[in-house]
Each structure stands twice: as structure tokens, then as C-alpha cells.
């Protein structure tokens, strides 16, 4: 006799069902994971290697702190900021290439950089061609924003920086000055023009005007000519890499006059390379950790917790460049380039850690400056100069 196995299996299933032995239900499906919120890509192009690396690293530390704070607070209109970084290698040509890479390959909506005038002057026309807002944290050359309506800065220009040091020289009773500058540097040349005009316009005399070349190691000829002129002060608009060497050699040649300089001096490397020789010198800056204000104290505290040590001016300017951009995007209601340009250009009364920013028709900020005194191997706040 043959048994029908199919019938037996069916009967067993009916029997189990009748006894309440139903198969276990399927586990509920997990809800779908929501897609990640798309961030706002912002390009940062800075000298992170090469001669001006100290500048770029300082600015980047400030930028990263500002981005961290914005993202912790929910981002810009609910979207996080994604900082896309390129090293310009302290090379102006590389800066221009970095802008093109960030816009065309990384699809950034805005650019933060560069911090040296030479590199920003090369990069600005590329940003203008591509139609993307570019905000320089620290490039002070007076002609930078003339590159087009997409170019902005959060620092004052050399027109004001030269006036700061001319006014300071007069405030300490100086009536004669010497100038030592690099004719190959647009930064240096711009500052010489500003300082010299204001100093002469107010009755001062320029007893000697000598030049040097970037990267030189012997400045004796220029310094001896300055020594012979017997000026009361020596104006040295340069970057820290040359300034420290020049001042050290000047002291060995018996030039005891105060050197006065510009924001390009502000680096810890200036202090370490200059040693005691750079004490009792003065320079113009955009920020000082010693400035007596609550906003400065709060920023210094946050920076110290994130990075250790006190922030220098370029860290503060890097921080402000992110806040300035974020405020512009928020007011523009998005990242459309034309809307951002109009929003940024209309900035008025923006409270940054480096001062209150109101842009003029050329997208340059009207803001206060700082005079810093170098003493005891430190940068010390001396005074604030109104615009």
C-alpha cells in the first residue's frame, strides 16, 4: 500500500493550525535610515607649507574653530559646513590653481583665502572668472578687491595700515624716518606708499630709503646707509622671515632705533628667530589677545581650549572669515552666487572678534587697527587705532 506523503503533510499542517501552533510572524522591518544632510562645501586655500606656512596654519586653526562652532549649533540654516582645504605651498601660482581645483572639482560654493597679498592677487581673477565669492582673511594690498565684485576681505587694507604706523611714529615724537623695503613684493611696495605719503604730509622727513631682496642673508649695505642718515625710527614693511634677520643684523651694526613694521611680522617664528634683538619694536596688527574686551576674552578662551596657546591675528581673521561668510549665506537664504554676493556686499555692523565690520563700496571693511609692542619675547597689546 502506498502512502500519499503530500496528503500527510497537509494534514499535519491542518492539525497544528487547529491546535493554535501557527508559524512565528516575521520581525518588523526597521524604518529606513534618512539620507544624511548635505553639507555646504567651502574651500580654504592657504599656505600650509613653504615660507609663509605659519600664516596659513594660524588662519586654518581659526577657521576650523569657527566651523566647529557653527556645526555644533546646527550649521547654517540646518546644513553643516564642510571645509575643503588646499595648500598653496606659499606660491602665488599654486594659489590660482587651488582656486580652480576647489571650484571645478570640489564644487565649493565660496572661497576663504589667501592670506598673503601676492597669492590673493593671483587667485582673485580666477575666482572672479568662475563667479564664486572669495573672502581673504588677511591680504591687505589696496588693489585686491579691484579684481571684481566677488572679491571681499575681513582685514583692513594697506592704505589704513600705513596710516596706523605713520600716526604711531608721530605719537612718540618722531619726525625723521628711514624705510627699508623689498621692491619685488607688492605687499611691501603698497605699504611704503601709504606710510611715506602720510608721514611726509604731516611734516616728517624720510632720511633714507633702502631696498633688500627677499631671502637675502646680508643686509649690511642698506643698513649702513640708514645708519649714516641717523633716523629716529626705521619702517620695515615685510614678512617675519626677513624682518627678524634684518633687525638682528641691524643691532650688531649699532642701529638702536626702534623698528616699526606691519602685520607680516606677526608669527611666533619672528620671536624665536629674532630673540632679544626684536624687543622694543612695534607693528600694526588686526587683533591682540591682550585687548581688553569681553568678545576678545571669550574668543581667546575658546581658541585656547581647542588649540592651546593664544591666537595670533591670522587665527582671529580666519575665524572671522568663516563667521562673515556664514552670516552672508544665512541672510542670502542659500548659496546662489549672486545672492551671496549681494548679501556679503551689504554687510554692515558685523561684530567680529577683530572688530566691527562695515563694508564700503569696494567691499573693504572699515574697522579699527591695533598697535603691538614686542617686549620680553612676547607680543603685547599697546593701543587701538580707530578707522
What domains are there in the chain, each with its CATH number?
A: 40-156+292-367 (3.40.50.2300), 159-285 (3.40.50.2300)
Strands (E), 4-157: 40-46, 81-87, 110-113, 134-136, 151-153
* Cα 40 from Cα 70, distance rounded (Å): 12
Given a contact cutoff of 8 angstroms between Cβ atoms, the answer to whether 195 and 237 are in contact is: yes
- The number of CA neighbours under 13 Å toward the Cβ of 206 is 17
Q: Nearest-CA neighbor of 177 among 259, 256, 248, 238?
A: 259
CA-based radius of gyration for the chain: 29
Given a contact cutoff of 8 angstroms between Cβ atoms, the answer to whether 100 and 127 are in contact is: no
Q: How is residue 359 written as a grid cell? A: 563694508
Identify the pLDDT of residue 263.
Answer: 97
How many CB atoms neighbour CB 302 within 10 A? 17
* Cα 119 from Cα 47, distance rounded (Å): 9
Identify the pLDDT of residue 387.
Answer: 85
Q: Nearest-CA neighbor of 127 among 89, 158, 153, 154?
A: 153
| Digitized pLDDT (tens) for each residue of the chain, 387 residues in all | 433 444 434 343 433 344 444 555 555 565 566 556 689 999 999 999 999 999 999 999 999 999 999 999 999 989 999 999 999 999 999 999 999 999 999 999 999 999 999 999 999 999 999 999 999 999 999 999 999 999 999 999 999 999 999 999 999 999 999 999 999 999 999 999 999 999 999 999 999 999 999 989 999 999 999 999 999 999 999 999 999 999 999 999 999 999 999 999 999 999 999 999 999 999 999 999 999 999 999 999 999 999 999 999 999 999 999 999 999 999 999 999 999 999 999 999 999 999 999 999 999 999 999 999 999 999 999 999 998
Given a contact cutoff of 8 angstroms between Cβ atoms, the answer to whether 346 and 138 are in contact is: no
Given a contact cutoff of 8 angstroms between Cβ atoms, the answer to whether 98 and 114 are in contact is: no
The answer for residues whose C-beta is within 8 angstroms of residue 318's C-beta and 6 or more apart is 58, 59, 60, 61, 62, 63, 66, 112, 115, 137, 138
- The number of CA neighbours under 13 Å toward the Cβ of 107 is 5
Buried b (16+ CB within 10 A) or exposed e, 336-351: eeeebbebbbebeebe
Q: What is Dmax (Cα atoms) for the chain?
A: 131
Q: What's the Cα-to-Cα distance from 12 to each of 2, 15, 68, 285, rounded to whole Å?
A: 18, 5, 65, 91
| 341 three-state secondary structure | helix
Identify the pLDDT of residue 23.
Answer: 52
Q: Nearest-CA neighbor of 60 among 81, 75, 45?
A: 45
Q: Nearest-CA neighbor of 95 among 163, 155, 44?
A: 44
User: How far is C-alpha 3 from the geometric centre of its chain's CA atoms?
Assistant: 89
Q: What's the Cα-to-Cα distance from 274 to each of 26, 53, 144, 376, rounded to whole Å?
A: 75, 18, 31, 12
Q: For residue 380, what are the β-bridge partners?
A: 373
Identify the pLDDT of residue 24.
Answer: 52
Identify the pLDDT of residue 15.
Answer: 36
* Cα 99 from Cα 128, distance rounded (Å): 10
Given a contact cutoff of 8 angstroms between Cβ atoms, the answer to whether 284 and 318 are in contact is: no
Identify the pLDDT of residue 38.
Answer: 83
Q: Nearest-CA neighbor of 222 among 190, 253, 260?
A: 253
Q: How is residue 269 written as a grid cell? A: 617664528
The residue written with cell numbers 571693511 in the block is 365
Amino acid at each position: 500500500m502506498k502512502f500519499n506523503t503530500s496528503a500527510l503533510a497537509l494534514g499535519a499542517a491542518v492539525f497544528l493550525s487547529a491546535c493554535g501552533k501557527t508559524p512565528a510572524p516575521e520581525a518588523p522591518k526597521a524604518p529606513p535610515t534618512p539620507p544624511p544632510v548635505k553639507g555646504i562645501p567651502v574651500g580654504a586655500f592657504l599656505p600650509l607649507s613653504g615660507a609663509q606656512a605659519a600664516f596659513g596654519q594660524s588662519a586654518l586653526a581659526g577657521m576650523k574653530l569657527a566651523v566647529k562652532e557653527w556645526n555644533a549649533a546646527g550649521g547654517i540654516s540646518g546644513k553643516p559646513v564642510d571645509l575643503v582645504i588646499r595648500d598653496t605651498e606659499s606660491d602665488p601660482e599654486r594659489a590660482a590653481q587651488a582656486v580652480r581645483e576647489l571650484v571645478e572639482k570640489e564644487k565649493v560654493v565660496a572661497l576663504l583665502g589667501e592670506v598673503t597679498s601676492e597669492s590673493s592677487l593671483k587667485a582673485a581673477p580666477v575666482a572672479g572668472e568662475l563667479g564664486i565669492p572669495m573672502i581673504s582673511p588677511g591680504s591687505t594690498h589696496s588693489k585686491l578687491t579691484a579684481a571684481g565684485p566677488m572679491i571681499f576681505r575681513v582685514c583692513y587694507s594697506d592704505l589704513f595700515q600705513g596710516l596706523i604706523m605713520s600716526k604711531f611714529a608721530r605719537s612718540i615724537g618722531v619726525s625723521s624716518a628711514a624705510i627699508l623695503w623689498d621692491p619685488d613684493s607688492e605687499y611691501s611696495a603698497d605699504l611704503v606708499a601709504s606710510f611715506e605719503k602720510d608721514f611726509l604730509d604731516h611734516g616728517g622727513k624720510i632720511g633714507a630709503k633702502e631696498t633688500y631682496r627677499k631671502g637675502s642673508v646680508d643686509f649690511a649695505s642698506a643698513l649702513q646707509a640708514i645708519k649714516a642718515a641717523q633716523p629716529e625710527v626705521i619702517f620695515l614693511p615685510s614678512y617675519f622671515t626677513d624682518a627678524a634677520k634684518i633687525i638682528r643684523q641691524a643691532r650688531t651694526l649699532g642701529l638702536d632705533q626702534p623698528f616699526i613694521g606691519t602685520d607680516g611680522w606677526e608669527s611666533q617664528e619672528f620671536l624665536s628667530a629674532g630673540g632679544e634683538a626684536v624687543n622694543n619694536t612695534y607693528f600694526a596688527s588686526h587683533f591682540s589677545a591682550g585687548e581688553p574686551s569681553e568678545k576678545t576674552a571669550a574668543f581667546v578662551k575658546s581658541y585656547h581650549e581647542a588649540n592651546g596657546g593664544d591666537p595670533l591675528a591670522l587665527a582671529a581673521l580666519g575665524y572671522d572669515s568663516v563667521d562673515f561668510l556664514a552670516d552672508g549665506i544665512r541672510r542670502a537664504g542659500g548659496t546662489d552666487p549672486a545672492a551671496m554676493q549681494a548679501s556679503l556686499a551689504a554687510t554692515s555692523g558685523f561684530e567680529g572678534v577683530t572688530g566691527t565690520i562695515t563694508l564700503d563700496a569696494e567691499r573693504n571693511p572699515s574697522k579699527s587697527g591695533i598697535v603691538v609692542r614686542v617686549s620680553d619675547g612676547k607680543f603685547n597689546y599697546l593701543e587701538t587705532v580707530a578707522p
